[in-house]
Amino acid sequence: MISNYKYKPGIYYAATFIATYVLWFAGAYVSFQEGRGGLYMLLMLPGLMAPFLISLVMIFASKNSDLVKDFGNRLINLRLIEPKMLPVFFLIAPFSVLVSILLSLPFGGSVSQFQLAEGFSFSTGFVPVLFLLMLAAGFEELGWRGYAFDSLQSRHTYFKASLIFSILWSLWHFPLIFVNNSYQYEIFHENIWYGVNFFVSIIPLGMIISWICIKNGKSIPAAILFHFIVNISQEALDMTQATKCIQTVVLLVIAAVIIALDKDLFFSEKHLISEAH
């Protein structure tokens, strides 16, 4: 966060939502057109890139050299990543999956959920799913951590900024439920509550990613790495949607524990005071 620059979260989020929604709703329409369905990804990919591209515009249009240097440092300086945080990177997401499967067993969940999934749970036209998961983690976090989150924490405590961001991040995915064969489309048509669970689960996940980013000097690669591990963990095992509802509760508990253990960080107003001066 740069003290000599006034962040513009309203402009950033309005531009990002408008750009993404226009492109993704157009992509949703094309995804149902016979013979042209695969072309919808030509609209979906720019929508996915919108958070990053608008961050770049906001950063470089500011003509603030400190803002530009800070973005570059957080993008390429891997020394910002704390080695002691690496176990957290690699264990939280798989742990939440395994615990959720275990908790599902008394409720009729199958032990077969521990098996590796035979394939991905959705399709993405001509773009390989694994590549799309990498792109999603990369372009989203380049935008969210490049400008979006800093713009919120310039005005709020880390807790409030994380919560606001997480809710907005959840709503940002809304058009995907209308895109043929997308993950969100598939689960909404399987059971509407599974779709609702997807949007709810993003909120504690957003809180956790924000915390990881802050604890690693706001490193953008740190956020990308964790986001990608989350994406892969969700697809690696044959976990049912019912179990993913349990996982949402597990993520809420993990987020609550993190906040409780690091409450001085989450509720501190020191960065707001220094910003005012």
Query: Residues with catalytic annotation?
Result: 140, 173
Are 144 and 150 in contact by the 8 Å Cβ rule? The answer is no
SS3 letters for 111-153? HHHHCECCCCCCCCCCCCHHHHHHHHHHHHHHHHHHHHHHHHH
**Helix orientation angle between 86-104 and 241-261, rounded to the nearest 10 degrees:** 130
Are 171 and 165 a contacting pair, CB within 8 Å? Answer: no
Please, which residues have CB within 8 angstroms of residue 89's CB and are 6 or more apart in sequence?
212, 222, 225, 226, 229
